[in-house]
Structure 1
């Protein structure tokens, strides 16, 4: 006769062991591969082949299938510097942790001498697993939204710097490169990387900036490329255009921040209203108690 307590303990141990194995595997530093690095410097023409270059070693093929099934937000992941495979792995690990937590708790309760029904850890594990996956997905979206606001604010500075470089009698390409080299930070590092990639592939830098803007979903960076293209191909004077776009972008960011602050303030009215009802209850209760 099958002992369901023993089977439950074996399943719980196997689940925890798998989760620990995946965590240790991701924590250990991997040996850098030269082939994928060279392919990233010279990406193929097709988008599907470029995405499959991440798993060229064959080690993450199963994650590629899981990521394709999960339909990850590619723009948000590209903005925060994560691959679809990493996104799928984070969701899988979160689901496994949520699934294993009730099983471990039930096992500890069983060791203590109590025998809860099997349906409790099963339903709780499924619910916590789905909740953990949802939290991991929302965390990616929240980080991407924060990174997008930071990127837009940095583009304002980049517009002003490019305008200053143009006023110093530098060419369009040189103005883009010198302006990107002035500041530090991950935003300017992404811009410098795009400009280096354009130089290595002998592309125009404004086309590379527009491709990066389309990839990460930041249209403000694409505006820089569109403005500088008119300067590089037609010789137009775009100093005032860059300054005007920077001012309009600052006004837009200021308006968005005010709208977000008003939304947060409106949500604070709900606990304030509940607190008023609680105080009214404390005031009315003594009179009701005397009746």
Structure 2
């Protein structure tokens, strides 16, 4: 014969014990998983204005390899080849569907179009949309690269100041990177942190980052600081000279870009003059 009061007491005690165990387990901080922690360490910070995709995009690995993405530009923007492939596919899909939707609206209004018209326009618009998405990535990377170069000028001056204050080369690199905010300095701090964790020299890590994102000026910082760390050379004047030359190079590039934009504006200006002349001459021409 079952002793029901005893069974109920045992079951209730087990339930209370399980509840206390679950409360204590949820209250204590869990040990972080090693795999996701390492992936977070290796994940570079993203520049302002770029949004990451949190979904699993492993299924786009094959199309990403086939599309031959600009790896340096994507590394600079903090995007993966799978995200690049997804942006191109979505842009092409929008371009492919838009003419079909427009044809459906026209057909609802009572105007029939051959199927070949929206199909042909959709294919052409899909290719154009994918090309525009590709050029958008390139233009974003170019803007980010120019911003990176401007930040390196400041970083060179800060490292020179740290060296002048009798700091060591490694300490100078780390303290100079910790002074300023922004995604560029966060990227440099991440590289220096990885060098410290992996027991690498910081200048080698900076040169590796410069090669990865296509900014050779950051590699120059690593090369200059390597001579200071290995040979004990006083390089603060070299850093200041490199910062001045980089600023002059940036100024020259900005002037060349401004002249190119001004040259492209000459064509609309000339067309506007011809239009105004046509408006002025039209009354006289009609009287003849």
The question of a shared fold, defined as TM-score above 0.5 by the shorter chain, is answered with: yes
Q: Aligned to 2:132, what secondary structure does the other structure show?
A: helix
- CA shift, 1:284, in A, is 2.1
Give the equivalent residue in structure 2 for 1:91: 88
Per the normalisation by structure 1, the TM-score is 0.81
Q: Deviations over 1:122-163 (max 9, x none)?
A: 011111111110111111001000000000000000000000
Give the equivalent residue in structure 2 for 1:61: 58
Q: Give matches, 1:183-194, under 5 Å.
A: 183-194=180-191
Judged with a 3 Å threshold, the aligned counterparts in structure 2 of structure 1 residues 33 and 86 are, in CA distance, closer, same or farther, namely farther
Q: Deviations over 1:151-183 (max 9, x none)?
A: 000000000000000011100000000000000
Matched residues in 2 for 1:103 and 1:34: separation?
Answer: 49
Matched residues in 1 for 2:80 and 2:129: separation?
Answer: 20
Q: Deviating runs (4+, > 6 A) in structure 1?
A: none
Give the equivalent residue in structure 1 for 2:50: none
Q: Give matches, 1:1-291, under 5 Å.
A: 35-39=35-39, 41=41, 59-291=56-288
- CA shift, 1:268, in A, is 1.1
Judged with a 3 Å threshold, the aligned counterparts in structure 2 of structure 1 residues 33 and 125 are, in CA distance, closer, same or farther, namely farther
- CA shift, 1:120, in A, is 1.1
Q: Aligned to 2:179, what secondary structure does the other structure show?
A: coil
- CA shift, 1:105, in A, is 1.6
- CA shift, 1:267, in A, is 1.1
Q: Deviations over 1:68-100 (max 9, x none)?
A: 000000001111111110000000001011111
Structure 2: segments with no counterpart, 5+ residues? 1-31, 44-54
Tell me if the contact between 2:57 and 2:83 (Cα under 8 Å) persists in the aligned partners.
no
Per the normalisation by structure 2, the TM-score is 0.82
Q: Highest Rg: 1 or 2? A: 2
- CA shift, 1:38, in A, is 1.5
RMSD across aligned C-alpha pairs, in angstroms?
Answer: 1.9
- CA shift, 1:282, in A, is 1.8
Q: How many residue pairs align between the two structures? A: 246
